[in-house]
């Protein structure tokens, strides 16, 4: 197992990401074995697990939310304004966790007829404090550094609903892996 872990770290350093499939083929082990290896590396802080593999951890992920909100604040506010133009009454939306989606969520205070599902602790607090009448907290395991509910419970709940719009933020776009959130 140590050889696999070292190889995965070297690949991560070289390419910025690792693939479960590629590692499984390289070592002739099951994908589940590789997933366990990546989970161990994630627990040690070496990478962040994503669908299909792992990526380097986001450097500012553990910074306080107030600091992350200030990073590119003008751009996040503008994205929030643009996203808000998609809103209309009587729709059901999902809003993912993140500082960009939090900037967007400030606009939801003016839309009481929208049903909002979110896994963000900060968005729940923002809209609850504003008295938003149609708010659903998508609970699960709390990941404090991301201020979010994570794990299989929120994923299960979200997959059982049909949303008119989902507002998510991403960290990068990759030609092989598509849209990725590093945190």
The per-residue pLDDT string of the chain (183 residues; one tens digit each, 9 = 90 and over) reads 889 999 999 999 998 899 999 999 999 999 999 999 999 998 888 888 888 999 887 665 556 677 777 888 899 999 999 999 999 999 999 999 989 999 999 999 999 999 999 999 999 999 999 999 999 999 888 888 778 898 888 888 888 999 999 999 876 666 666 776 654
Residue partners of 107: CB distance under 8 A and separation at least 6: 80, 81, 83, 84, 87
Question: pTM of this prediction?
Answer: 0.65
**pLDDT score at 181:** 64
pLDDT, position 146? 79
Residue 177: per-residue pLDDT:
64
Return the CATH architecture of domain 2-55: Orthogonal Bundle (1.10)
- The three-point CA angle 173-97-71 to 5° equals 70
Is it true that 2-55 and 65-175 share their CATH fold?
no
pLDDT value at position 141? 87
Q: Of the candidates 49, 74, 93, 68, which has an alpha carbon nearest to the alpha carbon of residue 183?
A: 49
For residue 61, the model assigns a pLDDT of 57
Task: Give φ, ψ of 176 to 5 degrees.
Answer: -90, -40
Question: Please, what is the Cα angle at 59 between 57 and 63, to 5 degrees?
Answer: 115
Q: Using CA atoms, how far apart are residues 176 and 6, in angstroms rounded to an integer?
A: 23
CATH of 65-175, one of 3.40.1130, 2.60.40, 1.10.1740, 3.40.50: 3.40.50
pLDDT at 50: 87
Domain boundaries, the chain: 2-55, 65-175
Distances (CA, A) of 140 to 98, 118, 123, 148, 152: 16, 11, 15, 9, 7
């Amino acid at each position: 197992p140590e050889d696999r872990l070292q190889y995965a770290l070297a690949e991560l350093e070289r390419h910025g990401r690792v693939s479960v499939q590629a590692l499984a083929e390289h070592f002739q082990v099951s994908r589940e074995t590789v997933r366990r290896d990546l989970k161990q590396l994630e627990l040690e802080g070496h990478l962040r697990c994503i669908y299909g593999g792992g990526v380097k951890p986001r450097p500012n992920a553990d910074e306080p939310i107030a600091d992350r909100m200030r990073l590119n604040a003008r751009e996040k506010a503008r994205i929030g304004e643009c996203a808000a133009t998609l809103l209309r009454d009587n729709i059901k939306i999902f809003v993912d966790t993140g500082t960009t989606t939090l900037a967007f969520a400030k606009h939801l205070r003016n839309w009481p007829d929208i049903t909002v599902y979110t896994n963000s602790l900060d968005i729940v607090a923002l809209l609850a404090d504003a008295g938003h009448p149609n708010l659903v907290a998508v609970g699960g395991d709390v990941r404090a550094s991301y201020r979010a509910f994570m794990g299989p419970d929120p994923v299960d709940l979200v997959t059982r609903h049909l949303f008119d719009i989902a507002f998510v933020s991403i960290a990068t776009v990759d030609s092989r892996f598509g849209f990725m959130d590093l945190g």
